[in-house]
């Protein structure tokens, strides 16, 4: 059996490891190469589907590591982690709701790939990957706030959580990125964990890590000060996206080398 890794890095994608505008990650390549040479796993953690994340993992040479998909509802690439997809059950429960409420919600499962491409701005190929869902259902809500409240109450009685994102209302059985991170940490048993994210839905992930990095995103208002920032357990980058990612990861690896470099587990 392999020795546990010294560190596992958990990272959000959009606005964090991927540039907000161009979706490029090449600015983070030096730090990614350094992590790879040290045998440190990088676990991608995103709202994207397994089909979408596998493509990015291949691009970044990260296919040997687990990843967190559909906002924590699922984990791919972890031995012994056999999850039963819940998408069909989720869709059935939405369809069984009173028509007055369910017809206000138009999920990706109600749309063909062309419509998903139109509402997301994705290409048709990418829309097909975004439609290949196992656990959660994003969709557009067309009712008023009162109906939305009732919809959420009824869903909640079925154990379904509804999260409002920038554009889509995403329904799932409620596991978060941090829940999935805990499962991966229990399996890999790293000495330390580092997490990077840019948005409110990454805060749990940053709080669950030994060291958290809030990557600057000039496209959203800055988050209020987080617990742990004053102690330096959580830091903010000044550079945005993959450039900030690269700087923060390199600085943390330098610091770990200084402090534990003389310890050998060989």
Question: Does 15 help bind Mg ion (rule: CB under 5 A)?
Answer: yes
Residue for token pair 């012994």 = 80
Question: Least CB distance from residue 68 to Mg ion, whole Å?
Answer: 13
Question: Does 241 help bind Mg ion (rule: CB under 5 A)?
Answer: no
* Closer residue to Mg ion in complex, CB, 5/241: 241
**Which of the stretches 18-26, 36-44, 55-63, 199-207 binds Mg ion when contact is defined by CB under 5 A?**
199-207
* Per-residue tokens: 152: 């959420």
**Which of the stretches 8-16, 111-119, 121-129, 167-175 binds Mg ion when contact is defined by CB under 5 A?**
8-16
CA 192 to each of CA 41, 185, 211: distance values in angstroms, whole numbers, following the listed order: 11, 9, 8
Question: Does 12 help bind Mg ion (rule: CB under 5 A)?
Answer: yes
Question: Does 223 help bind Mg ion (rule: CB under 5 A)?
Answer: no
Question: Does 52 help bind Mg ion (rule: CB under 5 A)?
Answer: no
* Closer residue to Mg ion in complex, CB, 199/251: 199
Question: Does 198 help bind Mg ion (rule: CB under 5 A)?
Answer: yes
How many C-beta neighbours within 10 Å does residue 122 have?
17
Nearest partner of 190 among 35, 16, 73, judged by Cα:
35
Distance CA 188, CA 206 (A): 18
* Per-residue tokens: 208: 């669950």
User: Which position among 55, 154, 199, 226 is part of the footprint of Mg ion (CB under 5 A)?
Assistant: 199
Distance CA 2, CA 150 (A): 50
List of residues contacting Mg ion (CB under 5 A): 12, 14-15, 198-199
């Amino acid at each position: 059996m392999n020795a546990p890794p010294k560190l596992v890095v958990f990272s959000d994608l959009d606005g964090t490891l991927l540039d907000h505008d161009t979706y490029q990650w090449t600015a983070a390549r030096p730090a990614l190469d350094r992590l790879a040479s040290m045998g440190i796993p990088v676990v991608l953690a995103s709202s994207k589907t397994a089909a979408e994340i596998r493509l990015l993992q291949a691009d970044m040479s990260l296919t040997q590591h687990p990843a967190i998909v559909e906002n924590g509802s699922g984990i791919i690439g972890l031995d012994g982690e056999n999850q039963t997809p819940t998408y069909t059950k989720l869709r059935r429960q939405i369809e069984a709701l009173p028509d007055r409420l369910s017809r206000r919600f138009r999920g990706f499962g109600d749309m063909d790939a062309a419509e998903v491409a139109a509402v997301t701005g994705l290409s048709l190929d990418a829309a097909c990957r975004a439609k290949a869902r196992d656990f959660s259902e994003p969709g557009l809500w067309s009712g008023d706030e009162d109906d939305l409240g009732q919809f959420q109450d009824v869903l909640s009685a079925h154990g379904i959580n509804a999260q409002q994102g920038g554009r889509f209302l995403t329904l799932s059985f409620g596991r978060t990125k941090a829940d999935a991170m805990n499962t991966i940490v229990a399996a890999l048993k790293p000495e330390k964990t580092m997490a990077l994210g840019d948005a409110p839905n990454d805060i749990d992930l940053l709080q669950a890590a030994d060291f958290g990095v809030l990557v600057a995103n000039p496209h959203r208002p800055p988050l209020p000060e987080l617990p742990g920032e004053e102690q330096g357990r959580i830091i903010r980058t000044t550079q945005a996206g993959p450039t900030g990612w690269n700087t923060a990861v390199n600085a943390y690896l330098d610091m770990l080398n200084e402090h534990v470099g003389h310890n050998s587990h060989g």
